Amino acid sequence: MRSNHFKDVRLHFRGGNSNDMDDGNDSGEGRLFLGKNKLLQIALGRSSEDEYSDNLHQISKSLTGSVGILCTNRSPKDVEGYFAKLAVEDFARAGQAAPRTVILTKSQIETHPVSMVEQFRKLGLPVEVKSGRVAFVGGREEWEVCKEGKELSVEQCKILVHMGVKLAVFRIELLTRWEKEDGTVNELQ
């Protein structure tokens, strides 16, 4: 999970004032809870007998994988609209499949300082210092960092970060909505 992006979402639903983040005042418009799914399930209730409020046990059944709970007094339309627009580009992490092929060109590698050559070599880039500039070994014009659909390695991800190539997109998908007034649960997926 990308906690820096979750901080932005939390700030958005807290009312946007970064000065009151840790003052203990929960008068904001919403809270985002992330944590152990079992703990969240126990808090909501796992069955109709131990649920906190009507039908919350149905929400706790949805808590599997990387999920969280957003509690807010904003309208469902506002919340769904916000998350529909939320898409933040970010650097890919190791283990993800590359969404596209990335090829470094000679001009991209030349912009880096000569002091980076050793670090690039450790990451597997075939580079050398030529005429005081970073260049590919053997006069190559380009080098393939990753291929579409292939799993990214740690080294490939570090190269992509150095080159400023963002392959991942941070999104939050809404799965279920619970209405406090009548206890209805709506599946959104």
What percent of the chain is modeled with pLDDT above 70? 92
User: In the prediction, which pLDDT does 84 show?
Assistant: 93
pLDDT digits (tens, 9 = 90+) for 65-121: 888 888 888 888 999 999 999 999 999 999 999 999 999 999 999 999 999 999 999
User: In the prediction, which pLDDT does 24 show?
Assistant: 45
Name every residue whose Cβ is closer than 8 Å to that of residue 102 and which is 6 or more positions away in sequence: 144, 145, 146, 160, 165, 167
User: In the prediction, which pLDDT does 82 show?
Assistant: 92
- Domains located in the chain, CATH noted: 3-87+171-187 (3.30.70.1730), 102-168 (3.90.105.20)
User: In the prediction, which pLDDT does 1 show?
Assistant: 52
Check: CB of residue 114 under 8 Å from CB of residue 134: yes
